[in-house]
Structure 1
Amino acid sequence: MKFTIAQGSRQGPRPYNQDRLAYSYHRHAIFMVLADGMGGHQHGDVAAEIAVKTMIDAFQRESKPMIAQPAQFLREQIAQVHEVIENVRLQKRLQESPRTTIVVALIQHNKLFCAHVGDSRAYLYRNGLVEFQTQDHSVVQSLLREGKIRADEVNHHPHRNKIYNCVGGDREPQVELTAPIPLREGDVVLLCSDGVWNVVSEISMAQHMLAADIHDGVTRLLDDADAASITVGDNMSAIALQWGERIVTPLTISTLDLPLDVTTTMMNESPATPSPYALDLTDEEIEKAIAEIQEALGRTRQLIK
C-alpha cells in the first residue's frame, strides 16, 4: 500500500477543543478515527478521548495481520466504546455519561470500510467529485429524508445542530456501516467534524482534497473553517488520506517497506486549552477501563460456549 496522510485540529471560537483524532497503520491495514465530544453535556472531551484511544487500541490488538470481519469489528468496537465510557462514568461518579460522535475508516485489501455514529462525516473523493458521503444522524437529515423540509432549509433550521444518535448516554449507539468500497488510484478519504463541513462549501472542500500535497489541502481546509468561524462556530478537525502513488511526495508512505510486526500510530496533539470540566483521567485509567470491559466480554463468551 502507498498513501499520504495528514490530520489537524483547531479550537476555533470555542473556549476549549473537544475533538479528538488519530490514525494507525501497519503493513497490511490503515485505520483512522475522529470523535467530536458533545458540548451540550459535561466531559465531551473525555468521551472523545476514550473513543479514539479505545478504537486505536482495538485496531492494534485485532489486526494481526488484518481484521477478519471488518463490519463486525467496527460495530462491536464502537459499541465497546459506549461501555468503556459508562465504566468511566461509574468510576468517576459522574452525574451523567459523557457523549461523543464518532466516525472511523478502515482500509485493507485495497477496500474502504466506514462506520459512524452522529454527525461527524466520512467522504470519498474521486477525480474531484464526492463518490461517497456518510449521512448524519441528525434531526434535520431525518426531516430531509422524510420530505418534511427542503434541502435549502437545512442550514437555517432551528434544530440543525441536534443529533439523535451518539456514543455515551442512556441509549446504546446505532452504528451505521458502509458497504466496502474498492479504492482507486488518486482517491482521497476524508474524516471531519461538523465544525468543518458546516462552514466550508462542498466545492471548496473538494478543491482542497485535490491538492497535490494532502498536508497543504488539510491545512487550507482548516484555514477556511477557521476563517468562517471567527466569532461563532465550533472546533474543527480533519484527517485526509490520499491513496496510491499518482502523487508522490517526501511524506508518501509505502507499507511495503515496513517490518511485519511494526505499527505506527499518530495521535493528534492534546488541546492547548483544557476543558473547565476536565477530569483527572490518565491514559492508565482509560486502559484499565478498556481492559475491564474486555475481561467482562471474555467471561461472557466463555459462558456462551
Structure 2
Amino acid sequence: MKFTIAQGSRQGPRPYNQDRLAYSYHRNAIFLVLADGMGGHAHGDVAAEIAVKTMIEAFQRESQPMITQPAQFLREQIAQAHNVIENVRLQKRLMESPRTTIVVALIQQNKLFCAHVGDSRLYLYRNGLVDHQTEDHSVVQSLLREGKISADEVDHHPHRNKIYNCVGGDRAPNVELAAPIPLREGDVILLCSDGVWNAVPDISMAQHMLAADINDGVNRLLDDADAASITVGDNMSAIALQWGQRVINPLTISTLDLPVDVTTTMMNAAAPVSSAYGLDLTDDEIEKAIAEIQEALGRTQQHIK
C-alpha cells in the first residue's frame, strides 16, 4: 500500500474543541477515525475522546495481520465505544451520558470499508468527483429523503443541526455500514466534522482534495472553514488520505517498507478532556474504562462458549 495522509483540527469560535481524530497503519491495513462531541449535551469531548481511543486500540489489537470480518469489527467496536462512554458516566456519576458522532474508515486488500453514526461524513473523491458520501443521521436528511423538504430548504431549516443517532446516550447507536469499495489510483478519502462540510461549498471541498500535496489541501480546507466561521460556527476537523502507487509527495508512506510488527498511530492533539466543565478525565481513566468493557466482553464470550 502506498498513500499520503494528513489531518488537522481548528477550534473555531467555540470556547473549546470537542472534535477528536486519529489514524493508525501498519504493513497490511490503515485505519482512520473522527468523532465530533455533541455540544448540546455535557462533556461531548469526553465521548469523542473515548470513541477515538476505543477504536484505535481495537484496530491495533485485532488487525494483525488484518481484520478478518471488517463489517462486524466496525459495528462491534463502535458499539463497544458506546458502552465505554456509559461506563465512564456511571463511574463519574454524570447526570447524562456524553454523546458524539463518529465516522471510521478501514483500508485493507485495496478496499475501503467505512461506517458512521451521526453527521460526521466520509467522502470518496474519484477523478475530482464525489464517488461515495455517507448520509447524515439528521432530521433534515430524513425529511429530504422522505420528500418533505427540498434540497434548497436544507441549509436554512430550523432543525438542520439535530441528529437522531449518536454514540453515547440512552440508546445504542445504529451503525450504518457501506459496502466495500475497491480503491483506484488517485482516489482521495476525506473524513470531516460538520464544522467543515457545513461551512465550505461542495465544489471547494473537491478542489482542495485535488491538491498534489494533500497536507496543503487539508490546510486550505480548514482555512476556508475557519474563515466562514469567524463569529458563528463550530469546531472543524478533517483527515484526508490520497491513495496510489504513483504518489510522489515526499511525505508518501509505503507500507511495504514497514516491518511486519510495527504500527504507527497519530492522534490529533487536544485540550484536557472537559476541564472547562469540571470533569477532569485522565488518559489512565479512559484506558481503565476501555479495559473494563473489554474484560467484561471477554467474560461474556467465554460464558457463551
Both structures adopt the same fold (TM-score exceeding 0.5): yes
Alignment of 1:64-79 (within 5 A): 64-79=64-79
Q: Report the AA paired with residue 71 of structure 2.
A: A
Write the letter of the residue equivalent to 2:183. L
Instruction: Report the counterpart of residue 149 of structure 2 in structure 1.
Output: 149
Structure 1 segments unaligned to the other structure (5+ residues): none
Q: Which moved more, 1:187-196 or 1:268-277?
A: 268-277
CA distance in 1, matches of 2:92, 2:275: 16
In structure 2, the residue matched to 1:193 is 193
Is the alpha carbon distance of 1:113 and 1:279 closer, same or farther for their aligned partners in structure 2, counting shifts above 3 Å?
Answer: same
Unaligned runs of 5+ residues in structure 2 are: none
For residues 197-276 of structure 1, the aligned pairs below 5 Å read: 197-271=197-271, 276=276
Q: Take 2:226 and 2:271, find their aligned partners in 1: how far apart are those partners?
A: 16
Deviations 1:14-70 (A, max 9, x none): 111000000000000000000000000010000000000000000000001100000
Quick one: distance in 2 between partners of 1:40 and 1:236? 16
CA gap 1:278/1:213 in 2 versus in 1, 3 angstroms: farther
Please list, as runs of the form range in 1=range in 2, the aligned pairs for 1:61-210 lying within 5 A after superposition.
61-210=61-210
Tell me which amino acid in the other structure corresponds to 1:265: T
TM-aligned CA deviation for residue 284 of structure 1: 1.2
RMSD value over aligned CA atoms?
1.1
* TM-score normalised by structure 1 residue count: 0.98
Matched to 1:122, the amino acid is L
Question: 1:109 & 1:193 partners in 2: Cα distance?
Answer: 27
Deviation of 1:299 after TM superposition, in Å, equals 1.1
Task: Give the Cα separation in 1 of the matches to 2:7 and 2:222.
Answer: 10
The two structures have a TM-score, normalised by structure 2, of 0.98
For residues 232-283 of structure 1, give each alpha carbon's deviation from its aligned partner in whole angstroms, at most 9, with x where no partner exists: 0000000000001333111000000000000000000113896521522111
Paired residue secondary structure (1:159): coil
User: In the aligned structure 1, how far is the partner of 2:264 from the partner of 2:158?
Assistant: 43
Q: Secondary structure at the match of 1:113?
A: strand
Alignment partner of 2:225: what SS? Answer: helix
CA distance in structure 1 between the partners assigned to 2:200 and 2:94 by the alignment = 36
Query: Contact 1:15–1:273 (CA<8 Å) still a contact in 2?
Result: no
Amino acid at match of 2:176: E
Q: Secondary structure at the match of 2:276?
A: coil
CA distance in 2, matches of 1:274, 1:220: 29
Would you identify which runs of 4 or more consecutive aligned residues in structure 1 move more than 2 Å? 271-275
Which residue is 1:53 aligned to? 53
Asked if 2 retains the 8 angstrom alpha-carbon contact of 1:23 and 1:33, the reply is yes
Aligned length: 305
